[in-house]
């Protein structure tokens, strides 16, 4: 069957056309799937990289806060001891 031919298509012609269309659609789907997977992998990599940057920054800030809390805890302990000493000094 040629494109300029006006003869009716046979079942065989339609079968060949269907097979060609299915091959082409399958190829397009495979191409789109590969592009989608590549984009998904790139997105995952970007997210993980940014999360790692955030985690490093958070860890640094957490350590600084932890050191500050320890410092306050030591000061509170020192004040408690001084108050306790003063209370014991005032007792008869």
Range of 4-13, 45-54, 68-77 with top mean pLDDT: 45-54
* Cβ contact 40:32 at 8 Å: no
Q: CA geometry: angle at 28 spanning 12 and 36, to 5°?
A: 155
Looking up tokens 């397009």, which residue turns up? 28
pLDDT tens-digit series, residues 27-64: 999 999 999 999 999 999 999 999 999 999 999 888 88
Quote the pLDDT of residue 37. 98
pLDDT at residue 20 tops 70: yes
Band the pLDDT of 79: cuts 50, 70, 90: very high
In angstroms, the CA 31 to CA 71 distance is 60
What are the C-alpha distances in Å from 54 to residues 47, 48, 49, 50, 62?
10, 10, 9, 6, 12
- Name the pTM for this structure: 0.53
End-to-end CA distance of the chain: give it in Å, rounded. Answer: 120
């Amino acid at each position: 069957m040629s494109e300029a031919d006006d003869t009716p298509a046979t079942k065989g012609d339609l079968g060949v056309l269907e097979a060609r269309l299915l091959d082409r659609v399958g190829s397009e789907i495979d191409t789109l799937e590969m592009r989608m997977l590549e984009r998904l992998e790139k997105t995952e990599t970007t997210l993980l990289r940014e999360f790692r940057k955030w985690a490093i920054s958070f860890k640094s800030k957490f350590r600084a806060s932890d050191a500050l809390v320890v410092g306050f805890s030591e000061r509170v302990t020192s004040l408690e001891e001084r108050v306790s000493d003063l209370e014991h000094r005032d007792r008869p």
